[in-house]
Structure 1
């Protein structure tokens, strides 16, 4: 995707960053990177709640990671907004928004990943591990770079506008860790929850976090049902 619109750095662009809703794999504690499950039925309800929270705002464009769980979340949000504005809004795929490729552990239940790759998993959990990568996967520095470039591409395309983007916890965690000038190993502490809404402002060539990890739109009963399923384990 090329940069077709020059960016006026003084224009204020609001980017609404949405972490995708939950999948069955999330509820079973699977190491989920490029593994590509659909949304769980409760995840669909989460996406519908996001859609209602954003339906009366001012955006007309929504970007998405190419992974199914993000695309389904984006489609539900776009459909609600399309009905509101009487315009067919189709999510635009932006590969740079994809989740981290976790290589050899991608798709494994977390307990199995610890059993088979304990030493590597311990390295991955080190908060000071800046440029870690699983065998066959992406390095954190590479993911942060492509994610940052994807966000820059969006604001170049939509200066002065409000735009949505559906993406993933790991990629978001890396970006927010670096935004706080922390090692990329802090990604778990910085990643927002599933189906959360985070707002960032781009103005004068700088980013500012306006709202982080808002889940007030998610019904308490829905979140409790998801928590109970997750607590059942694999």
Structure 2
């Protein structure tokens, strides 16, 4: 199966460069809505039967615009939300990222490490994997599964899950607004990343 993990469109938090992980979160900016409309055009060639998203506002709005543009249903999925920033919520990137992203890097060797006031690697991986599994289970095998989620959640889960990615890759690759990570495989057989933010990857 082909699985697309797509970051939501731009929000005011993205422009201000502040950490925002808690629901409901900010809406899309005007540019974010344009990005979502463009995304619908980009995905028109994919065999998609539904567009899934996290329950956070920005992901839901992105998914609805895409779904409406393609004439498809939209479904929210429990567990697909952003990695909980805990005590770092609302802080500027410059102040929060060493502890936020730094803890995520520790998860490669210590999955029980916890973001201050937030979640551990084991807690995040368990709930996000379950969300992906629900999306995959609801998608016919000959279709493309689509989940609109959040940058940290997508990057951490995909880099950890894909057989051809590793910790070094995860330290140097982010995801732009409405950018995607494309994986191929299955829940049972595992996943391989075939592209990251538009760049093809070697298997």
What is the TM-score normalised by the length of structure 1? 0.72
**Alignment check: 8 A CA contact 2:103 2:115 kept:** no
* 1:56 to 1:124, Cα distance in 2 relative to 1, 3 A: closer
CA–CA distance in 1 between the matches of 2:131 and 2:52?
10
Which contiguous aligned blocks of 4+ residues in structure 1 show a shift greater than 6 angstroms? none
Aligned length: 190
Gaps of at least 5 residues in structure 1 are 1-12, 83-88, 115-120, 216-234
- 1:194 and 2:160 are equivalent in the alignment: no
What is the TM-score normalised by the length of structure 2? 0.82
Could you list the per-position Cα deviations for residues 7-41 of structure 1 after superposition, in whole angstroms to 9, with x for gaps in the alignment?
xxxxxx22222111110111111012125011111
1:68 CA displacement = 0.5
**Alignment check: 8 A CA contact 2:85 2:100 kept:** no
Aligned match for 1:149, one of 121, 125, 130: 130
1:150 CA displacement = 1.5
- 1:22 and 2:10 are equivalent in the alignment: yes
Give the 5 Å matches for 1:1-234: 13-34=1-22, 36-82=25-71, 89-111=72-94, 113=96, 121-122=98-99, 124-125=101-102, 128-130=105-107, 131=111, 132-160=113-141, 161-178=143-160, 179=162, 180=164, 182-183=166-167, 187=170, 189-203=172-186, 205-214=189-198
* 1:164 to 1:124, Cα distance in 2 relative to 1, 3 A: closer
CA–CA distance in 1 between the matches of 2:170 and 2:126?
14
Q: Give the number of the structure with larger relative contact order, counting CA–CA contacts within 8 Å between residues 6 or more apart.
A: 1
CA–CA distance in 2 between the matches of 1:201 and 1:113?
33
Moved more, 141-150 or 173-182: 173-182
1:194 CA displacement = 1.5
**Alignment check: 8 A CA contact 1:66 1:98 kept:** yes
* 1:186 to 1:100, Cα distance in 2 relative to 1, 3 A: farther
Gaps of at least 5 residues in structure 2 are none
**Alignment check: 8 A CA contact 1:98 1:171 kept:** yes
